[in-house]
Every structure is written in structure tokens, then in C-alpha cells.
Amino acid sequence: MIAKANGKPAGSGCEGPDKQGQNAIDVEHIVKKYGDFTAVNDVTFHVVEEEIFGLLGPNGAGKSTLIRMMTTLLPITSGRAIVAGHDVSKDADGARRCIGVIPQALTSDLDLTVEENMNIYAKLYDVPAKQRKEAIDELLVLVDLTRWRDAQTKTLSGGMRRRLEIARGLVHSPRIFFLDEPTTGLDPVSRVAVWEMLTNIKKNRQLTILITTHYMDEADRLCDRIAIVDHGKLVALDTPAALKASVPGSNVIEVQFEHPPADLEQRLHSLPDVTSVQHEGAGMFRVLTGNGSLTTTALVEMAVHAGIPVKSLTVQSTTLDDVFVHYTGRQLRDELVKAYGFVMPQAPGLRP
């Protein structure tokens, strides 16, 4: 293990106030403006030590802008961000020494080998030669790439390349790890592999992780707490369980009717324990209810009596999808998934 017991890692040069009783990240009234456009609008949150904190939101919500401000990549218009005890606007280098960052785009060099990619980053962080080798050995085991140590990066699959980048980001044993949409574009198997790897890393290292994602299942599975960001604003922040509980109704009934009458939405509202009804077009309704079985029985009876044919019906527990819909009024899953592989980062000065 490279990380010391007190959480101050060896080799990274990360110095700062002792973490006891202190948040890993404090973001206070942070604002980012590009001309008249406000990309991030007065966002405040705190990330406690050794938690996995998720920033959830659709593309263009301001997640990447937020992460770029916290990682010293973008100047902050107003407000402040304290990362590992360092104000990123005043002591950017201090913050940089304590963080590891995995950008959205895959940036490992295709012509370099796995080890060379990691070695160069270790040098950029001034990790001494002896610790460099130890850190690389340990991380390659952790991300299961030891066999590929001397392979050129271009021979790796997308998932393996993402694992390499995660290892590269940890080569200087940072205190805080930022991951910007780490599984975007990966196939389902690779996504699960990355999740397991992150959980494993978290278990082995005293690490605070801040992750941005637009995948609900990813946030639900990985994060201790989740902040939902929409249109540059923080709309909700809590644990996944608390967020789900905050949505009125514990079950969701998705029902599709053939030829629904105009007053069907009102009729669904009047069913027992129904808290909200959302018409999604093509005869499809999402019904939130506090009692799934009772409402479903009443709904089917109502449909039979009214002679409205039911095409399909599902009942499920509330998910983060419902949380997102509840807080933002739209569905996250409608957002387009970005193309895998090369992702052009937002040009500075342009709207994210």
C-alpha cells in the first residue's frame, strides 16, 4: 500500500490541513459564467472524507464544468471551492497535488505502453523513482492489467483503457479522486467491471471519490450521496435511499392503454394512494403510488369497467429515475448516450 494510515499519501506531495473533522471538498456558492450564459449557478455542497459522492445530471447540466472548476482546470467566476484544504483559486498547486483526475475523454497515449503511460504521469507528479515502480506494480494488480503492462495502449479494449486511466489517475496516491463520466460509452460488461474496480479501490485506499454520471444505476450502485444537477443548479442532495424516499409514493406503475379517453389522467389520479400521474404520450402513463398492489388492482378494475383495453402494465419500486423526474420534471434516460471512445472536450469559452 502506498497510502499511509493517516490518509496522507506518500509520493504525491499532498500537504495540507489534517483531514480529521474536515470535509474533503467544500463548494460554496460557486458560479461559472461564459459571457451572459451561466453554466453553474450558485452551487453549494460538501463532500466528506472517504465517501463516494455522485454528481448526477443530463449532458449539459453543468457537471463537467463543476468538476473542472474543482480540479483547477477552469477559473471560478464567483464563490469558492476548497479541495483537500486548499482553495483552488488561491493555491491551485496545493490542490493539484492532492487530487487525481480522470477526464471524460480517453486521453491515454495509444502509441505508449500501459506502463509508459503510468510512468509519465508519475513523473508529472514528481513521484520518486522507487515509489513510482511500487505504485505502478500495485495499481496494475488492482485494475487487473498486469499482463498488459508492456502492451501498447492501442491494443486494449475500451474498458481496459478506462481501467488504465483510472490506474494512471491514482499513480501519485491522491486523497481525492475525480472521475468525469468514467463509464460513458462502455459496454454493460465493462461498466460493471469499472464499478467493481472502483468499489475495490475504495475498499483498499482511504480515498474520497467524486464521480459525475448520467447513469442512474451507476449512481445508485456506487454513491454514498448524490447531488442532482440540472441547468447548472443543484436541485437535490442526499443519499440514494433518502432521495428515493423523498419522492411521494413508493411504487411506480407504468401502464399503457389503447385508445385512452381524454379524462383518463383524472381517473388515474382518483385511484387509491396515487400521488402523481404523468402522461408520457402514446397512451403511456407513469403512476406514483404509496401502495402498489392496491392501486394496481383498482386501476385494472377501473379499466375493465370503463372498457379501456390495457396494452401493458408494470409495477416497480421507486428508482433514481423517478427521483430525477420528480426534481427536474424530465427523464434522464431520454438523454443521448455519447459516442464511445474519442470525445471532443468542450472548447474553452464555448457553452458546455
Partner 1 sequence: MNRMMAIVEREMRKFFRSPTLMLASMIFPLVQLIVLGNAFGGKIKDARLGVVDQDGGTQALKIRQAFDSVRANMRTFMPVYYNDEATARDDVRNGKIQGAVIIPPQYSRRVYEQDRPQIALVVDNSDNFMSSTLEQELSDITTALNQPTIEPRLLQQTVLQIVELYPYIEYMKYLLPGSITLAMFVSVMIGGGMLYIDDKARGVHEGYLVTPITKTEMVFGLNLAGAIKAVLTGVVITVIGALLAGVSTIFNPATVLGLFIMIGLTSVAFNTMMFLLMVRVDDPLVPRAIFGILNTLLFFPSGSIYPVQAFPTWLRVIAKADPFTYAVHGFKGLLLKESGLTAILPDMLYLAIFGTVALAIATPLFKRTM
Residue of 211, 183, 189, 201 lying closest to 55 (CA atoms): 211
CA distances from 208 to 19, 185, 217, 264, 320 (A): 11, 24, 20, 48, 22
Question: Does residue 96 bind partner 1 (CB under 8 A)?
Answer: yes
Judged by CB under 8 A, the chain residues 7 through 26 that form the site for partner 1 are 13
Judged by CB under 8 A, the chain residues 213 through 242 that form the site for partner 1 are none
Question: Does residue 89 bind partner 1 (CB under 8 A)?
Answer: no
Compute the least distance from the CB of residue 112 to partner 1, in Å: 6
- 8-state DSSP, 62: S
Question: Does residue 319 bind partner 1 (CB under 8 A)?
Answer: no
Question: Does residue 326 bind partner 1 (CB under 8 A)?
Answer: no
DSSP string for residues in 206-227: --EEEEEES-HHHHHHH-SEEE
Question: Does residue 31 bind partner 1 (CB under 8 A)?
Answer: no
Q: What is the distance of C-alpha 324 from the center of its chain? A: 14
Stretch that binds partner 1, among 24-32, 67-75, 194-202, 288-296 (CB under 8 A): 67-75
Compute the least distance from the CB of residue 13 to partner 1, in Å: 7
Q: Rounded CA gap, 153 and 110, in Å?
A: 5
Residues in the chain, total: 352
Residue type, 203: K
- What x-and-dash track marks residues 149-168 binding partner 1 by CB under 8 A? ---x----------------
Which parts of 225-331 fold into alpha helices (H)?
240-246, 264-269, 292-306, 320-328
Q: What angle do CA 343, 83, 134 make, to 5 degrees?
A: 75
Q: What is the distance of C-alpha 135 from the center of its chain? A: 26
- 8-state DSSP, 148: G
Question: Does residue 313 bind partner 1 (CB under 8 A)?
Answer: no
Q: Rounded CA gap, 311 and 160, in Å?
A: 43
Question: Does residue 74 bind partner 1 (CB under 8 A)?
Answer: yes
Which residue number, 97 or 244, has a Cβ lying nearer to partner 1? Answer: 97
Q: Rounded CA gap, 129 and 48, in Å?
A: 32
Compute the least distance from the CB of residue 181 to partner 1, in Å: 12
Which residue number, 68 or 244, has a Cβ lying nearer to partner 1? Answer: 68
Which residue number, 115 or 220, has a Cβ lying nearer to partner 1? Answer: 115
Work out which of 8, 63, 68, 202 binds partner 1, going by CB under 8 A.
68
Which residue number, 34 or 327, has a Cβ lying nearer to partner 1? Answer: 34
- What x-and-dash track marks residues 250-289 binding partner 1 by CB under 8 A? ----------------------------------------
Please list the helix, strand and coil fractions of the chain in percent, rounded to the nearest 5, in that order: 35, 25, 40
Q: Rounded CA gap, 63 and 57, in Å?
A: 7
Question: Does residue 302 bind partner 1 (CB under 8 A)?
Answer: no
- What x-and-dash track marks residues 102-141 binding partner 1 by CB under 8 A? -xxx-x-x-xx---x---xx-xxxx---------------
Question: Does residue 93 bind partner 1 (CB under 8 A)?
Answer: yes
CB 301 within 8 A of CB 268: no
Binding site for partner 1 (CB under 8 A): 13, 68, 71-75, 93, 96-97, 99, 101, 103-105, 107, 109, 111-112, 116, 120-121, 123-126, 152, 342-345, 347-348
